[in-house]
Structure 1
Amino acid sequence: MASLVMSGTLVFCGLASNVEARTLRYAIGHPPSSSVVDVTKKYADEVEALSDSELSVRIFPMSLLNFAETSGGVRDGMADIGFVLTSYFPSEYPHSNMAVEASMLVGLLGEKAQGREGMIFMGALSEFTFFNCPECSQEFSAQNQVYTGSTGGTSYGLVCNEPVETEADLKGMRLRVGASNWSRWAESVGASPVTMSANEMFEALGQGVVSCIVLASPEIHNFGLTDVVTDINMDVPGGPMPIAGTNINADTWKSLSLEQREVMLRAASVFSAGVPWIYHQQEDRILSEAKQRGVAIHHADQALIDKTQAFIRDDMQHIAEGYRTRYGVENGEEMIANFQGLLEKWTDLVQNVETEQELADLYWEEIFSKVDVEKHGL
């Protein structure tokens, strides 16, 4: 799968072969059967191939650190690399989470974005974080981490134990949400948002603690929710959940040679592309299999869709004001406008992408290859 890549004066072939191999520990909160872990294995294979086995990655799925522990664990060196959900830590990553909370903007991109939302968003977010948000790099540095790209799946809908088609259906419902934007959307339609770890979703939905989970459909498989889901509506609220998927402990990063850092970035571009690609490939299959099991697939009425789109437009101002008030982010409006422009750019860039490798190559050429490994993270 791996291919030799040249960028500037660094060439991946020819890394020192007489150096003892080094193993990097990767912590991810997903279970071993998750398709995200499958992509992580590709990332590990890429690291080993591009470094001529000088580096290897050992994956710890849902064992070394859970989602809530990963940020601190990477910071403290319990893992060298981690799958960091910055939205779990709003005060630590306020500038980074500004763009994360704007994920529902993909719902306003029109037909060109449909079926490509994840690919668009992860490209835009990676470019934004590397090159347009110095405050983001400072936030990761404060947590003793180095950012090496964002990833995530498809747009989020409603995975439920009762039907939802209208705003009236949502009134009084308890919805598990994983980020503040979906929490605000839930409140706007009369539902009650509930925050809990992703690892608690099965029990919450199965026992009726919540009526729905705001989630991407492939996560039904990834988190083993098959037996507790009876109804699905993927029309609302929309927007993917982005993750800093390959954050590296800063001490580990500094100990790598320039060639090794570029290897890690090239592998990260593969990881960043792999998750949205596999989610988009799985989305229709997951919904079809659910329907065959007797799960009811619902669609939102036009009134609920219109209300959701109006909410998205209004919420951008709320995000900027909220981050200014709570976290002192003074340039929120400018950041969101900048990021919205990148979303439109990436909507055009991914139109002709037909394979996972093409998406990885696009990410590499447009974003990751342009990162200065002599300065980034230092």
Structure 2
Amino acid sequence: MKTTITGALALSLCVAAAGSLGAEERMLKFSSGFPESAAPPQAYAKVAEWLAANSEIKAEVFSMSLLSFGETPAGIRDGITDAGYVLTPYFPAEFSETNMAADMALLVSSGTDAPALVMAAAITEYVMLNCPECVAEYTAQNQVFLASGASTEYSLVCTKPVNTVADLKGLSVRSGASVFGRWIEHFGGTKVSIPGSEMYEALSQKVVDCTMVSMPDVMNFQLADVATDMTVNAPGGVFAGTASMNLNLDLWRGMTPEERKIMLEAGSRMTAGTSVIYHNSSIEAEPKVKAAGVNVVELSEELSKATQDFIVADLDTIRDQFTSLYGVENAAAKIETVKGLVEKWKGLVADIDPTSMDAYQALLMTEVYSKVDPEAYAMQ
């Protein structure tokens, strides 16, 4: 689907464009592999509306129609789209610095009621202000990171009750990220890698006992028709491997500093929009999941404590894997930086209304985006 934000179509910005944006002849393309009803395209639409109202930059949003998730980084690099939604775990070697931080997403399984907002902000601050290697891995792909985003907490959706350490042993569980796979294997289960589109059939035909998804996806994928039980916040954490608005680097470097400043604020709005829409969708989805007949229970104290013990030990696994497999240098120090940022943002997010995009976006601007120099960021 394509959502046109302005009245008339214009030519997309091309890689060869030089100098500032010409409002009368240029329109940005924002692309994601999500359907139009999902949080990321909704957030893109809000960003495009804000750009149209507050700048000479226009945009149109493409949902599923321009590039798939697998095609998006190359599409940004080659100028097929001007900005795109990159799922960094799909590309482990290209985005290893960012993925190491994203792999720590279980850190938000406790200590916050808004894990999506906390982890998205921590990743954004880490990449833009603390990790020049992260910026460099994006520029190596001819793109610049402008925004993040995160899902709400991941939970077990199963065909039987699961809420103790003993329950996990022998379970076959679909996991969508490596950290979730390590969690289930740690407790004696088996991780199964299947696309999200196949979760319904896998549960229905007993190919897996459970799948790990966020609350909104129980309804999005109609899992309430085939699942009987849901254990909230098991394993916890969020999907955080999200570069939600990566911009073509040639385009970025051809902009004026003022235009880059505008795009930085647009990035803050994309981070806020994606994360808050996911957060609010989870709140709205829970009564629907219960009404559909799924037995929704909170994580047991026993399994919660065991998970927290796993999280501490898993940081060493993350350090070793990213050092040996991808050559990440100073991994231990970088892990400590991310840990500190997660704790910082738990405190900051606790002081705002997590359902308010405006409140969260203002916080992101104050703590991160206002500190990014539009004349220097990603310019070397």
Give the structure-2-normalised TM-score. 0.88
1:101 aligned partner: 103
User: Given the alignment of the two structures, is residue 92 of structure 1 paired with residue 90 of structure 2, yes or no?
Assistant: no
Change in CA separation of 1:62 and 1:162 when aligned onto 2, cut-off 3 Å: farther
Q: Which piece of structure 1 moves more, 246-255 or 89-98?
A: 246-255
Change in CA separation of 1:221 and 1:78 when aligned onto 2, cut-off 3 Å: farther
Q: Give, in angstroms, the shift of residue 226 of structure 1.
A: 4.8
1:10 aligned partner: none
Q: Give, in angstroms, the shift of residue 159 of structure 1.
A: 2.5
1:159 aligned partner: 157
Query: What is the CA deviation profile of residues 133-154 of structure 1, one whole-angstrom value per residue up to 9, with x for unaligned ones?
Result: 1110111111111000211122
Residue 29 of structure 1 is aligned with which of 29, 33, 38?
33
User: Given the alignment of the two structures, is residue 45 of structure 1 paired with residue 49 of structure 2, yes or no?
Assistant: yes
Change in CA separation of 1:162 and 1:251 when aligned onto 2, cut-off 3 Å: farther
User: Given the alignment of the two structures, is residue 79 of structure 1 paired with residue 77 of structure 2, yes or no?
Assistant: no
Unaligned runs of 5+ in 1: 1-15
Query: What is the CA deviation profile of residues 229-274 of structure 1, one whole-angstrom value per residue up to 9, with x for unaligned ones?
Result: 4321113111111211001111222232222222211111111112
Query: What is the CA deviation profile of residues 15-48 of structure 1, one whole-angstrom value per residue up to 9, with x for unaligned ones?
Result: x998414221222121122233222211111222
Counterpart amino acid of residue 251 in structure 1: D
Change in CA separation of 1:78 and 1:210 when aligned onto 2, cut-off 3 Å: farther
SS at match of 1:49: helix
SS at match of 1:87: helix
Instruction: Note if contact 1:67-1:197 (Cα within 8 Å) is conserved in structure 2.
Output: no
User: Given the alignment of the two structures, is residue 216 of structure 1 paired with residue 220 of structure 2, yes or no?
Assistant: no
Query: What is the CA deviation profile of residues 277-305 of structure 1, one whole-angstrom value per residue up to 9, with x for unaligned ones?
Result: 22222323311111111111133333222
Instruction: Note if contact 1:39-1:275 (Cα within 8 Å) is conserved in structure 2.
Output: yes
Instruction: Note if contact 1:30-1:222 (Cα within 8 Å) is conserved in structure 2.
Output: no
Instruction: Note if contact 1:35-1:222 (Cα within 8 Å) is conserved in structure 2.
Output: no
1:359 aligned partner: 360
SS at match of 2:179: helix
Instruction: Note if contact 1:170-1:191 (Cα within 8 Å) is conserved in structure 2.
Output: yes
Q: Between the two proteins, what is the percent identity of the paired residues?
A: 39
2:179 aligned partner: 181
Q: Which piece of structure 1 moves more, 178-187 or 33-42?
A: 33-42
Unaligned runs of 5+ in 2: 1-19
Give the structure-1-normalised TM-score. 0.88
Q: Which piece of structure 1 moves more, 61-70 or 78-87?
A: 61-70
Instruction: Note if contact 1:21-1:56 (Cα within 8 Å) is conserved in structure 2.
Output: no
Q: Give, in angstroms, the shift of residue 365 of structure 1.
A: 1.6
SS at match of 1:20: coil
Q: Give, in angstroms, the shift of residue 72 of structure 1.
A: 2.5
2:279 aligned partner: 280
Q: Which piece of structure 1 moves more, 192-201 or 351-360?
A: 192-201
User: Given the alignment of the two structures, is residue 342 of structure 1 paired with residue 341 of structure 2, yes or no?
Assistant: yes
What do you get for the CA RMSD once the two structures are aligned?
2.1
Instruction: Note if contact 2:150-2:239 (Cα within 8 Å) is conserved in structure 1.
Output: yes
Counterpart amino acid of residue 362 in structure 2: D
Instruction: Note if contact 2:168-2:187 (Cα within 8 Å) is conserved in structure 1.
Output: yes
Q: Give, in angstroms, the shift of residue 90 of structure 1.
A: 1.0
Counterpart amino acid of residue 336 in structure 1: I
Kindly tell me the number of residue pairs found equivalent between the two proteins. 357
Query: Take 2:39 and 2:22, find their aligned partners in 1: how far apart are those partners?
Result: 35
User: Given the alignment of the two structures, is residue 123 of structure 1 paired with residue 127 of structure 2, yes or no?
Assistant: no
Instruction: Note if contact 2:224-2:293 (Cα within 8 Å) is conserved in structure 1.
Output: no
Instruction: Note if contact 2:215-2:285 (Cα within 8 Å) is conserved in structure 1.
Output: yes
2:245 aligned partner: 246
Query: Take 1:73 and 1:203, find their aligned partners in 2: how far apart are those partners?
Result: 31
SS at match of 1:314: helix
2:326 aligned partner: 327
Instruction: Note if contact 1:156-1:238 (Cα within 8 Å) is conserved in structure 2.
Output: yes
Query: What is the CA deviation profile of residues 141-174 of structure 1, one whole-angstrom value per residue up to 9, with x for unaligned ones?
Result: 1111100021112221113333322233322322
Instruction: Note if contact 1:160-1:232 (Cα within 8 Å) is conserved in structure 2.
Output: yes
Instruction: Note if contact 2:224-2:292 (Cα within 8 Å) is conserved in structure 1.
Output: no
